[in-house]
Structure 1
Amino acid sequence: MINKVQILSVTPIGNLDAYIRLANLWPMLSLEEEKALTKRLRYDTDLDAAKILILSHLRFVIHIARHYSGYGLLQADLIQEGNIGLMKAVRRFNPEIGVRLVSFAVHWIKAEIHEYVLRNWRIVKVATTKSQRKLFFNLRKTKKRLGWFNQEEIDIVARELGVSSEDVKEMECRMSAQDVTLNPVPEEDIIDGKNHRIVPYLQDKTSNFSYGIEQDNWEQYATSKLSHALLRLDERSRNIIHARWLDENKKNTLQNIAKDYGISAERVRQLEKNAMKKLKIAIEN
């Protein structure tokens, strides 16, 4: 007789109905069975026990995933993400805490599904902070019942969720907005001879081309001035400036340079100081 673990492992991923039927065939564990398996996993690292715990709780993942069917995402993907949460819960579960595994796993299953929904519901993320995520999921449930909010309903939702009314308004606008393609529209979609693309109308008001060109010109000018100023120094002073400031490694110390020229470190410091003064005068003139 084929083991249920083997059946589930060979079931085609695309056949969701068959997967759900097989997941529901796996018997639920009694409290004693669950405790024994979780102790085997926690204290003996028994992977077979982990497999049984996961398979016997797949039906709960399917049940939770069905509550997120209104986001336009594939049910199979939601279940898959929930299964990841279930596996994390099984790995972290402590059989000594006195609760059933399913009660502990609900948080992990929902957390993984929430992350997946937020990553894939829209191209542009609608919620990034913890408070925004809480508002996103709770607001969507409330909107199914009430539709668009009036000011009184906004204030009630804000109070219940512990956020400001402005946060509720902003999230409602984000959820109601639609993604717009930046790609050119097909010829058949051209209206009145005009190509209604969004790309030509996008503006980056923070960009300043003149400032960038000015910066480039200034850097070129400053580099040129520095090069000419260095040529006015004697060879020893020029080498000291290069070694101390312009070489890539910049690891040359006064002592190392002093050894190369057979002079004291203090003399090298004086030459460096004088050379810097000459460079400053040459660049400013």
Structure 2
Amino acid sequence: MPERTIATAFEALLSRNVPTDGERSAATQHRASIENSLSQLENFGLRETGSFRHGTAVRGRSDIDVLVSLGGGRPASSDTALERLRSTLARSFPLTPVRVSRPAVVVNFASGDERWEVIPGYYLRARGDHAIYSIPAPGGGWMETAPSAHLSYVTEVNRSPSGGAKGLARLVKTWKYANLNGAKVSSFYLEMRATQRMAGESSFIPYLDFAYLIRDLARHGLADMNDPTGLTGRFRAASTETYRSTAVTMLTADAKRVEDAIELEKTGRRSAAFTKLSYVFVGTTFPSQFY
């Protein structure tokens, strides 16, 4: 019976979590109806952001994220912008759940199987080829974002080592979705941290880079992150302190499990190593040792 190592198991985990062609097609199914709804507001079009746009989506898990560039002047309160957007979408889709989940308004099509997150944005300025917008911040108020700059950053780092930035981002998001009760961490934050790590690497070894990333995230307590493009401010890992501290506790435990698993394999106890890793990815099926 063929046997996996930890290294090949992580490669299998990464491969099996690439979105299917069907998921990619479904991601665009409701775009026209969303755009038609938003035509009731003064806007300058939709810009796709997030995991599908960046090539870091996780099979069966990732949402379709779009930023709508709104006109008419930014209101003082981001709550006002979110409620205005929510009420517009709710009128257009009366049988579909529509709710605010900062920084977006979430529209759950197909009983939640196709989830759109629509972020209200207000143009602030441009830096080179990149537009900077003001959007609702996770904890209230406003924050700045530069979607095209962040996409360019991920794409550039992903070139060398080839596939490293996107692969590591997909792995750490897979961990997040496997631990949804405790890992309420921003996917964007995890993606930027993964890309930042790979920017200094000459090769991508999925299991080792994942081990180092979650170890460092735990050690630094999911600290706020400076925008690596230098165009905006700082990113928060979570919308509340409780979410951040809970995720740090989980990361600390899982970083130790991964470290222990690697050592167990080195000493010939691969079965025990795979048991450890099954707890790290408890909400999904980690590739089995034998297949």
Please report the TM-score for the alignment, with normalisation by the length of structure 2: 0.24
- Specify which structure has the higher proportion of helix: 1
Which of the two has greater strand per residue? 2
Indicate the structure (1 or 2) with the bigger Cα radius of gyration: 1
Q: Bigger relative contact order, structure 1 or 2, given CA contacts below 8 A and separation 6+?
A: 2
